[in-house]
A and B are shown apart, each in its own frame.
Chain A
Amino acid sequence: MKMSVVLAGKGPAVFTIGPDQGVREAIQTLAANNIGALIVLDDRRFPTGILSERDIIRECARRDDTLHRSVGEIMTPEVTCGSPEDDVDAVLKTMTTGHFRHLPIVEDGQLVGMVTVGDLVKARMDQLEGAVETLQTQIMDS
């Protein structure tokens, strides 16, 4: 199963922010949309980092002025990007071993979506359920 399957059923919506925008603004976007991370885009609109709840909490624990800092200062800068052609199984493994939960998807240098570990786990479960369902109907009706 390819990542494109997960993207196609999830849609292209992805929440982004610029590195120069403030952390307060980032928190408002996270809260308003009930999401866990924002993709940070540079001026070519390419992912330059990712800002997750964890990044914010870590920084808040370290210093009191976190809300007044810029996204670029506290984001996780080295962001791994996926492609719609990647295999879900391989990506899931990489995300679990690398301990990251959000993956921006890039195609021809453009951000085209974002998936979470949860999306991938659900896709795999649906695939399994589908295989079982197919077997069951065959057994029941034969």
Chain B
Amino acid sequence: MAEPGTRANPLRVAIIGAGPSAFYAADHLLKQEDLNVEIDMFDRLPTPYGLVRAGVAPDHQKIKTVTRAFARTATDPRFRFFGYVEFGRDISLDDIRRYYHQVLFATGAQSDKHMGIPGEGLRGSHPATEFVAWYNGHPDYRDCSFDLSCEQAVIVGVGNVAIDVARILSLTPAELARTDMADHAIAALSASKVRDVYLLGRRGPAQAAFTNPELKELGELAEADVIIRPDEAALDPLSQADLARDGDRALARKVEMIQSYAARPPAGLPRRLHLRFLVSPTELHGDANGHVSSVSLVRNRLTATATGSLVAEPTGETEEIAAGLVLRSVGYRGLPLPGIPFHDRWGVILNAHGRVLDPGTNAPIPGEYVTGWIKRGPTGVIGTNKPDSVETATAMLEDAREGTTFAPGDASCEAIAAFVRGRQPQCVTFDDWRRLDELEVAAGGRAGRPRVKFTSIEDMLRALGR
């Protein structure tokens, strides 16, 4: 049979996951003029957009407007969404090979990294991933609970997720009430007794992973002072030399901002956000009930590796912080998918530039591709997924033109849809999602909020009249 990509014989692509990376790839594939592509996009949730819905902070509405561009892609008649269909549960690689020429995995990072220290499993110690998913109303996490009755909380890590979490813990009930945060989280956080939040960076100010706008926003919180110890804000000689040599303006600005926070006398606001540097947690201690009660820290100093990276080395000097809530925000982690080669150490699907590799030979497996966080690891803002997805989509198109694809049988769109509905009778279309979206936004309008989210799949299906 002739290579797929014509009107009569379109290149049929299944995309697993409906986050930003999935939509950027779909957009690129559908834009081709000389190759006709049809896309079916699957997500395990009835709602699309991945972490834009379930990760991005509820007080950061503006960034969520990227979904308008994604929704435009979804209007292409060659695009279909099958929500509430999970790869590995409802459909398998064998199913895909039967119906599609190519599959693109865009499943993100569904789990979290551990710190690997004693006491991590105590009650009251959670991954930030869970806390984020809970406040954003992800259906799998709506029943989590977090003890907000303590006065001191510790967040490990100083990436943008740690900053999000610290900020959310510091918002006032009035500020919370204006967001699209899940109702259960607004209620819990409005009653929170947490007054002091400690953010722990294991390296210095010049190595902090957060970005400048997020740091600036911390300094503008209505009811929380940012507190930084001047000795920790000062740069060590190695960082200072690096900064002087590079002339990296954004980094210089970050360090300046940290030092100006350190120099600022606290305004006496009811909450405090302590941004610490050069400290690592070494152990979480529990009370008699097995609930976390404090965290031991060791002070670090920086040393340079062979390549000039500065790494934290413990000095032996220790301290202890009382805390009834510990959130580790040391990174997300990808999960393997059944039948797909995985690189366990890196937490990604084994690939080269988006082509999935056979672990035995390191040669590409025809038909299988990967993009986004499950391709390169859990880093980068929404837009970073665009060049990443364009790279993968380009490889897919190249291979399709050369005819190295799966060899599916003949199947009409309708036959495929019937097959999917057979596996998941409750699957959700993009029009169904639009309906849910309208309902959420309308409910938000009545409450003076951007939207009121459905947080359970039953509620979503009921709203669709199922």
Q: A134, B307: Cβ atoms under 8 Å? A: no
Q: How many residues of B contact A (CB 8 A)?
A: 43
Per-residue CB contact flags for chain B residues 236-279 toward chain A (1 = under 8 Å, else 0) read 00000010011010000000000000000000000000000000
Q: Which residues of A contact B379 (CB under 8 A)?
A: 1-2, 5
Given known contacts A11-B357, A107-B345, A137-B69, A86 and B383 CB-to-CB distance under 8 angstroms? no
Which residue in B65, B310, B385 is a CB contact (below 8 Å) of A90? B310
Closest to B381 in A: A134
Instruction: Report Cα–Cα, A9/B377, bound state, in Å.
Output: 8
Which residue in A8, A82, A135 is a CB contact (below 8 Å) of B376? A8
Q: A130, B380: Cβ atoms under 8 Å? A: yes
Which residue in B345, B362, B383 is a CB contact (below 8 Å) of A13? B362
A21 within 8 A of B: no
Q: Which residues of A contact B387 (CB under 8 A)?
A: 125-126, 129-130, 133
**Which stretch, B170-178, B227-235, B347-355, B456-464, touches the partner chain A?**
B347-355
Q: B307, A82: Cβ atoms under 8 Å? A: yes
Which residue in A13, A94, A126, A137 is a CB contact (below 8 Å) of B66? A137
Closest to A141 in B: B65
Per-residue CB contact flags for chain A residues 116-141 toward chain B (1 = under 8 Å, else 0) read 00000000011101111111111001
Instruction: Report Cα–Cα, A12/B377, bound state, in Å.
Output: 14
Instruction: Report Cα–Cα, A3/B324, bound state, in Å.
Output: 35
Q: A5, B69: Cβ atoms under 8 Å? A: no
Instruction: Report Cα–Cα, A8/B370, bound state, in Å.
Output: 11
B337 within 8 A of A: no
Q: Which residues of B contact A7 (CB under 8 A)?
A: 346
Q: A93, B246: Cβ atoms under 8 Å? A: yes
Instruction: Enumerate A86-122 residues with CB–CB distance to B below 8 Å.
Output: 86-87, 89-91, 93-95, 103, 107, 112
Interface size class of A (residues with CB under 8 A): 35 or more
A83 within 8 A of B: yes
Instruction: Report Cα–Cα, A127/B65, bound state, in Å.
Output: 20
Closest to B376 in A: A9
Q: Which residues of A contact B242 (CB under 8 A)?
A: 90, 93
Q: Which residues of B contact A93 (CB under 8 A)?
A: 242, 245-246, 308
Given known contacts A10-B352, A11-B362, A13-B362, A90 and B380 CB-to-CB distance under 8 angstroms? no
Per-residue CB contact flags for chain A residues 64-76 toward chain B (1 = under 8 Å, else 0) read 0000000000000
Q: A8, B375: Cβ atoms under 8 Å? A: yes
Q: A94, B352: Cβ atoms under 8 Å? A: no
Instruction: Report Cα–Cα, A134/B52, bound state, in Å.
Output: 12
Instruction: Report Cα–Cα, A130/B20, bound state, in Å.
Output: 12
B80 within 8 A of A: no
A2-B379, A9-B375 known; 15 new pairs, CB 8 Å cut-off, are A5-B376, A8-B348, A11-B362, A12-B343, A13-B352, A13-B357, A82-B306, A84-B345, A86-B305, A86-B309, A95-B307, A125-B387, A126-B388, A133-B384, A137-B382
